[in-house]
Amino acid sequence: MKTKKLLALVLALLLALSAAACAPAETQEEAPSPTPEAAPNETPEGEGPAAAFEPGTYQATSAGMWGPLTVEAEFSEDAIVRVEVVDNVETAGISLWPINDIPAAIVEHQTLAVDTVSGVTMTSRAILTAVEDCVEQAGGDPGALQAPPALDPVPTEYTADVVIVGGGGAGLSAANAAAEAGASVVIVEKAGVLGGNSVVAGGIYNAADPELQATVEMTDAYREEIEAALAEEPVNDVHAEIQQKLQEEYDAYLASGSATLFDSPEWHALQTWIGGDRVGRLELIYTLTSNALDGLEWVEGMGYEIQDRIGQGSGSLYPRTHFSVLPNTWGIIKAFIENLETYDNVTIVYETTANELIMENGRVTGVKAAAKDGTEVTFAASNAVILATGGFAGNVEMRQEYCEGEKWPDLGPSLNTTNVASVTGDGIRMAEAIGASLIDMDQIQLLHITNPKTGISGDASVPQSTAGYILVNQEGNRFVREDGRRDEISQAIMAQTGGYSWLIQSADIITDPDTQTTTLGQTITYMLENHLADYTRADTLEELAEAIGVPYENLQAAIDDYNAHVASGEADEFGRVLLVNKLETGPWYAFTRAPAAHHTMGGVEIDTETHVLSTEGSIIPGLFAAGEVTGGIHGGNRLGGNAIVDFVVYGRIAGANAAQG
């Protein structure tokens, strides 16, 4: 188990250094003495046996999660003096834990028998493999460096004002808000890293933002959608209230004669509700959208950087999407972590799995958990516990139990997931065990733009959001509106030959493949040269069609029809209304995409203050919840770009309220 650690050095590693060859570096004639103060032939307690090396600095490269990872190791005659990862293309953010921790542990304990970091196992193993190679290059014996390090005993008790279960986006948001309110905080994290599913998400954030949206043109299609929503008969008082306010705003907009995009928290709320098949609870949705822009500005105040543009993220349905400067959602997670480092009353406990909520006199007072070695650990909460453990899209058993049906008949193990391995619905099970109400548990979302082999979406080249690509099937034909709902696109793809699609782009979008990157941060050129994600590039559309095995005539007709609608601005036969970028100029790019289990919209029932509700509808004292562990917000289809808003807004509310007890 590890407790809170300084991340300044870790965060400095975010940008990969220049590539290095898999060969010994220039050796040194003299090397510094080893850090451990021990005679050359003696073995300090808890460390590996003394070893003999050819002094110098060596490099080796091994295969990481996404490509080559290069390590540089420096040796004296009898010690490993320094280990450093000097080049890698691993996932931004979560890879920094093993990149920092494993080399430090190897040097400190003089052993290769250090633990991998749970949640980043492939990167961890790549580092160890490369260091082993360096040991061999230095004339050492890796087999003689296998003594397990001596570790400190695992603490068995923690006490704080607020105990947060889960160190993903919602948990970190809640921790910042609670610490900001003066509460002491303990975060219990199952993995060896922070961020959870949030750190591998696409990093898009929806909020009505008049300043950035002033550059976007209002279209007839958007007007018609708003007017149709205003014409609906209200189903309850909240619906009527939102409609009335939206009508007033829209009337004022029309009277102004503006040609720029109209938007507001009320329109965002209605569009979220309608886009979720009217299943979500409007009061929860309205709280989400009303606090979206303020939540974004809150995180920006911690150092989060967004691009100076607005767009329409995949499945977001409207141009209100903000894009991060850093890959994925790492920009927000990094800002959360760095801000937490400014507080002295926040502790993070890693690789510890919460398994039970403690109830005393009808109130939640803490959490029982198990450390990595099985040690039982108790976390006592003076004020409250916050559940922020995420959803269950990666838990095959749970998604089949709750979500299989007419809409999704097969959610079994053959379906990939975008989720990290540690997020398996634990908080939902714990809450249910003490009588919490579960809501919308049958609702699950599949993400349509993932790698058919891995389920990863971040290797996709969609730098210009939905506006910059089309999808075609194996016959070279378009078959769905690419700017539509994620569930509808996923179902359409699954109905095509082979159950996958080709995402087509051109040099009109990928203008500089040597610098433009995927969401994960690798350049397009890197993806092509390493044959990742089935990337294909061709100078002409005809050559591309031949390379990916689709009829050229059909593909050319699909491009021509799409471009004609961009020129006219009129919706096409599939209903696509986002018609911004023509695809005309080679080279052309294609890569395969298929659906994967992505987000569960069901979970623990909460109110707008994030109190967890019982099956009887009453508040369970001492228990709050935020993020994907909750249900009732996104309904039958979550709009792309709303998940990050969810964990920022509701995590903030949960942390502030839990701090008050």
**324/303 Cα distance (integer angstroms):** 12
Catalytic residue among 485, 486, 576, 652: 486
Contacts of 207 (CB under 8 A, 6+ apart): 268, 289, 292, 293, 295, 296, 320, 322, 645
Q: Do 110 and 145 contact (CB within 8 A), yes or no?
A: yes
Q: Do 593 and 501 contact (CB within 8 A), yes or no?
A: yes
Nearest of 112, 137, 139, 134 to residue 125 by alpha carbon: 112
**661/382 Cα distance (integer angstroms):** 8
Query: Apex CA 272: angle with CA 267 and CA 278, to 5°?
Result: 115
Query: Coil, helix or strand for 334?
Result: helix
**21/296 Cα distance (integer angstroms):** 42
Nearest of 372, 420, 479 to residue 155 by alpha carbon: 372
Token readout for 87 is 């080049």
> Pairing relation of β-strands 611-613 and 501-506?
unpaired
Residue 217 half-sphere exposure toward CB, CA atoms < 13 A: 8
Residue 300 half-sphere exposure toward CB, CA atoms < 13 A: 15
Token readout for 67 is 């490509």
What is the DSSP secondary structure assignment for residue 147, as one 8-state letter? P
Query: Is 537 noted as a catalytic residue in this protein?
Result: no
Contacts of 210 (CB under 8 A, 6+ apart): 263
**327/528 Cα distance (integer angstroms):** 19
* Enzyme catalytic residues: 486
